[in-house]
């Protein structure tokens, strides 16, 4: 697989190539859909982050507000009170790269100042476009996620990806963000209302390579996985790992998951298969 360098804040970078990278999800919230309340205690959050790093996560993604559409929104101050102390502590440890999962400009700016290297925006710069300035001014890595929430979607799942993400990329370029800072995320489960829609997107993710950016994936424990395997959220580990393999074989680079060790192992098998295919093609 082609080597690509992702430029991050604080002079850091991450190289994507023959090995899939894993981002561990750390929800410091009381109400996230599958692990709410497990890590909203500071000590529990740090312990979980360290465990995920030991299991092979190269990035810890810290979120202070649930993205579950049924969750009550929280204020920026509450989001920051939850996330920033954890980011500061993880930055002091220096064991992993750190991402802030937020759509708010102010939270993103404070998080990068506290030590975060990456801004992960589930609204793709279109909720608070000023968040693009944070990435431009700090050099932070930026994950631009597709969402279908609060708008009319195009009927074709990939056409809608291009429609939304091209608008987001225009905001990024207007702000002066370098292409090397950007990753795209197709946003599995975010207003993809049916299992069929999510599976159609999974089958066609490779078409997004035409946009020219590395791809981040977030299928972990999602409802559509549960519909396929018939399990509740906490028991969707194997189903999630299967999606990771499927999407790695289509060229995705970064996998945002709750269950790090399982996905690291599954992705190692996918990487071994890709390597053998490459060797066979070279002979």
Q: What is the pLDDT of residues 24-66, one digit of tens each?
A: 999 998 855 554 556 678 999 999 999 999 999 999 999 999 8
Pick the catalytic residue from 104, 109, 248, 256.
256
Mapped onto helix, strand or coil, the DSSP state of residue 25 is strand
Mapped onto helix, strand or coil, the DSSP state of residue 95 is coil
Residue 41, pLDDT score: 85
Dig out the tokens for 13 from the structure.
């970078």
Predicted confidence band of residue 1 (pLDDT cuts 50, 70, 90): low
d(C-alpha 10, C-alpha 196), whole Å = 41
d(C-alpha 46, C-alpha 51), whole Å = 9
d(C-alpha 149, C-alpha 239), whole Å = 25
How confident is the model over 125-151, as a mean pLDDT?
97
Residue with tokens 């990435």: 135
In the predicted model, is pLDDT for residue 118 greater than 80?
A: yes
Predicted confidence band of residue 238 (pLDDT cuts 50, 70, 90): very high
d(C-alpha 13, C-alpha 281), whole Å = 30
Q: Which element (helix H / strand E) includes 77?
A: helix 76-93
How confident is the model over 224-234, as a mean pLDDT?
97
Judge whether 153 counts as a catalytic residue.
Answer: no
Residue 85, pLDDT score: 96
pLDDT in tens, 156-199: 999 999 999 999 999 999 999 999 999 999 999 999 989 999 99
Judge whether 222 counts as a catalytic residue.
Answer: yes
What's the pTM?
0.94
d(C-alpha 168, C-alpha 196), whole Å = 25
Q: 250, exposed or middle or buried, with CB in 10 Å at 0-12, 13-18, 19+?
A: middle
Dig out the tokens for 205 from the structure.
């993710």
Pick the catalytic residue from 104, 222, 236, 248.
222
d(C-alpha 52, C-alpha 182), whole Å = 24
Mapped onto helix, strand or coil, the DSSP state of residue 246 is helix
d(C-alpha 137, C-alpha 157), whole Å = 33
φ, ψ dihedrals at 249, nearest 5°: -65, -15
How confident is the model over 132-149, as a mean pLDDT?
98
Residue with tokens 């370098």: 178
Predicted confidence band of residue 71 (pLDDT cuts 50, 70, 90): confident
Predicted confidence band of residue 70 (pLDDT cuts 50, 70, 90): confident
């Amino acid at each position: 697989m082609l080597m690509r360098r992702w430029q991050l804040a604080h002079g850091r970078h991450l190289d994507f190539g023959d090995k899939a990278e894993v981002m561990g999800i750390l929800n410091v919230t009381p109400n996230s859909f599958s692990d709410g309340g497990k890590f909203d205690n500071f000590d529990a959050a740090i312990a979980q982050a360290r465990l995920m790093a030991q299991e092979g996560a190269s990035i810890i993604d810290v979120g202070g507000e649930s993205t579950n559409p049924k969750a009550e929104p929280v204020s920026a101050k509450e989001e920051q009170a939850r996330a920033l102390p954890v980011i500061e502590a993880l930055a002091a440890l220096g064991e992993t790269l750190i991402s802030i999962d937020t759509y708010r400009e102010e939270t993103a700016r404070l998080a990068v100042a506290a030590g975060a290297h990456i801004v992960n925006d589930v609204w793709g710069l279109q909720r608070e476009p000023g968040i693009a300035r944070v990435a431009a001014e700090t050099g932070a890595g930026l994950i631009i996620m597709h969402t279908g929430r609060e708008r009319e979607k195009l009927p074709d799942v990939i056409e809608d990806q291009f429609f939304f993400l091209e608008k987001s990329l225009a905001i990024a370029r207007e702000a002066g963000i370098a292409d090397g800072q950007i990753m795209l995320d197709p946003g599995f489960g975010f207003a993809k209302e049916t299992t069929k829609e999510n599976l159609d997107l999974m089958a066609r993710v490779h078409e997004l390579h035409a946009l020219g950016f590395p791809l981040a994936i977030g299928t972990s424990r999602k409802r559509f996985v549960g519909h396929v395997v018939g399990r509740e959220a906490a028991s969707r580990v194997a189903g999630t790992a299967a999606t990771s393999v499927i999407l790695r074989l289509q060229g995705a680079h970064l996998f945002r998951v709750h269950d790090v060790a399982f996905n690291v192992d599954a992705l190692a098998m996918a990487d071994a298969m890709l390597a053998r295919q490459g060797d066979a093609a070279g002979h």
